[in-house]
Amino acid sequence: MPPTVSVSVTDLEVFADRLDVRHAAAIYREHGCLIVRGLMKPYVDAVRRDIEAAANRALSLLDRAEPVVEGWKTPDGTLFLPAPPGYHRDKQIMVLGISYFTSAAFFRSALDERTLDILAAILGPNIELFSHGQCLYKEPAGGHPKLLHQDAAYFEHRYEGPVAILSYAVDTDLVNGALHVVPGSHRLGQLPHIDTFSHLGLDPDEWPWERALPVVGQAGDSIFFHYRTIHGSQENHSQKPRPAFNHRYRRPDDYVTIGATTTANRAEAEKRAAQARKENQHGLMVRGFRAFEEG
């Protein structure tokens, strides 16, 4: 097994209030991850309010949850997993039903100009949103772990793939589920994933937490990562929820070739990868202009 990480958090971090965009992009390129302290600070209180409203709505709909291959879904689109042992309910929230369609505060935070300046230095002048925003919500008292994984296992792309930006909605530490990253792992190519409690993940015998670097942070801190950068987070053992929200951005000509959540549906999707096309996969432009595409 290769040694544990030699890079430290200070090698990966910059500060939103004194941003050097070229330096930030250089950190991202070298390590496949970048921490921008305070980037989402102007938005985080409003986003967190909407996240809590969405969580209350999801729980009020729990008796209408339907089984899906990944767990259960309520009519608002929230994905539930089995609850931690001893919890007062049998299901816990995993991915909250909140998106740019439901929360203006969430959408506004995706359009932040400083964020787009950094992204332009990484992706180029033309940028589209990939998907509609995501909130990973860990419930208190043992809320789900997300084992180390590469996002490309879930959405392989034709070109460079999306840049994800995960932002903490609350102060986040080793007790409530800090994100762990493996700097440099974006260069490892696509690794085989297995089915885990919280969907596709790397085999924990090969990729234990010790191989990753925890990123403790405050509400409003953001972590950029490449879609092949290995990352994950442990259970929330605090007494309060730990929400984090994701924006994802990509070049406007990029598109998903393989979409999956389990090894079985990934194996099926791999067979159709060569037929994948950009059509019907256009995201909203957030910087620049979309070139005309034939067909």
* Contacts with ligand AKG, residue ranges (CB under 6 A): 136, 146, 151, 164, 166, 177, 179, 231-233, 244, 246
In angstroms, give the least distance from the CB of 14 to ligand AKG: 20
Q: How far is the CB of 204 from ligand AKG (least distance, A)?
A: 14
Residue closer to ligand AKG, measured from CB, 126 or 218: 218
**Residue closer to ligand AKG, measured from CB, 177 or 252:** 177
Shortest spacing between CB 138 and ligand AKG, in angstroms = 6
Cα–Cα distance measured from residue 220 to residue 112, given in angstroms and rounded to the nearest whole number: 13
Scanning the chain, the segments in alpha helix (DSSP H) are 9-12, 21-31, 41-60, 104-110, 113-123, 263-271
CB of 86 to ligand AKG, least distance (A): 22
- For residues 126 and 263, which CB has a smaller minimum distance to ligand AKG in the complex? 263
83 closest CA partner among 69, 98, 72: 72
Q: Three-state SS string across 93-120, please? A: EEEECCCCCCCHHHHHHHCCHHHHHHHH
In terms of CB distance, is 38 or 243 closer to ligand AKG?
243
Instruction: Please say which residue, 203 or 278, places its beta carbon nearer to ligand AKG.
Output: 203
Q: What DSSP line would sit under 13-47, residue for residue? A: EEEGGG--HHHHHHHHHHHSEEEEETTTHHHHHHH
Tokens 């709505």 sit on residue: 57
Residue pair 101/132 in contact (Cβ under 8 Å)? The answer is: yes
Shortest Å distance, C-beta 63 to ligand AKG: 26
